[in-house]
Amino acid sequence: MRSPLRTVKAMGVLVAVAIFLVPVLWVVLSAFKPGSELATYPPRILPVHWTLANFSDGFRFGNFARYFLNSGFVAVTSTVLSVVISTMAGFAFAKFRFPGRDVIFFAMLATLMISLQVILIPMFLTLKQLGLINSLWGIIIPPAATPTGIFLMRQYMMTIPDELLEAARIDGATNLQIFARIMIPLSVPVISTLTIFSFVWRWNDFLWPFLVINDDRLQTVQLALANFVGQYAVKWGSLLAMTTLSMLPMLVIFLIFQRYFLRGISTTGLKA
């Protein structure tokens, strides 16, 4: 490669890093500044007096301990539910032949087209009829079945040789035993993919809690943060502190499982 192109590319990389990193750093650093420094003009990059007061304020006045608990509960429960039912459905679609199989499978995939945004109002009516408004189960159960999850599971399980299942069956294994002892252990890579992505989706979710939750005590972190901004006098210190804290679980997951994200879900799921 010739050197002028190389210089241009190096400059480009630097600009990209600046554009994508600086805003994030600015938010995180601001979270550690005392109120007086947040209003200082001209602003300083680093806090002069580092403080955790914004964080403790968020917990004391903002009830955020509760919101983090709610978000954690919703993300974990919904992910477990999602992985269990997607694995079950994937098994059926990959390893059984039965009337209606392909029709049902494509019908499920087709629901990708009907996202929550499109059925917002009737969804509210449905949840209300079922008594799921203002209940955390209203944001746990409905999004648990995802076409993406079922598709990933099916594609992966189709690569598991039928001979293994036949052998187990000859030895007298039931379908449930085959599912639990053969399919699940052999599908660990794709199960972990779905677990990670599902947790991230549910943790970051806003539209479901926005639609379902009215009660202050049932808010998730994302909903609480959005409502926090909506107030007339935004308390930026604790808002930025809680924003920073809410990124922490995502940072941990990203650092551990980076390759899953940077390769994209389809390739990780199908080639893992």
Residues 196-235 that bind another protein (CB under 8 A): 200, 203-207, 222, 225-226, 229-230
Positions in 118-157 near another protein (CB under 8 A): 118-126, 128, 130, 141-142, 144-145, 150
Task: State how far the Cα of 21 lies from the Cα of 232, in Å rounded to an integer.
Answer: 29
- To another protein, the closest distance from the beta carbon of 226 in angstroms equals 5
**Total interface residues for another protein by CB under 8 A:** 91
Pick one of 54, 70, 78, 246: the residue that binds another protein (CB under 8 A).
246
Q: Is 243 in the site for another protein (CB under 8 A)?
A: yes
* 258 touching another protein, by CB under 8 A: yes
- The b-or-e profile of 76-114 (16+ CB within 10 A means b, else e) is ebbbebbbebbbebbbbbbbeeeeeeeeebeebeeeeee
The span of 47-55, 60-68, 86-94, 191-199 binding another protein (CB under 8 A) equals: 86-94
Using CB under 8 A as the criterion, what x/- string covers residues 44-83 for binding another protein? ----------------------------------------
Give the list of residues 6+ apart from residue 203 with CB closer than 8 angstroms, or none: 71, 75, 221, 249, 250
Q: Which of 74, 75, 83, 89 binds another protein (CB under 8 A)?
A: 89
Does position 191 interact with another protein (CB under 8 A)? The reply is: no
Return the SS3 of 205: coil
State which amino acid sits at residue 5. L
Q: In whole angstroms, how far apart are CA 225 and each of 16, 51, 78, 92, 235?
A: 28, 21, 21, 41, 11
Using the minimum distance from each CB to another protein, give the nearer residue, 52 or 229: 229
Other CB atoms within 10 Å distance of the CB of residue 5: 9
User: Cβ closer to another protein: 193 or 246?
Assistant: 246
What are φ and ψ of residue 158, in 5° steps? -65, -20
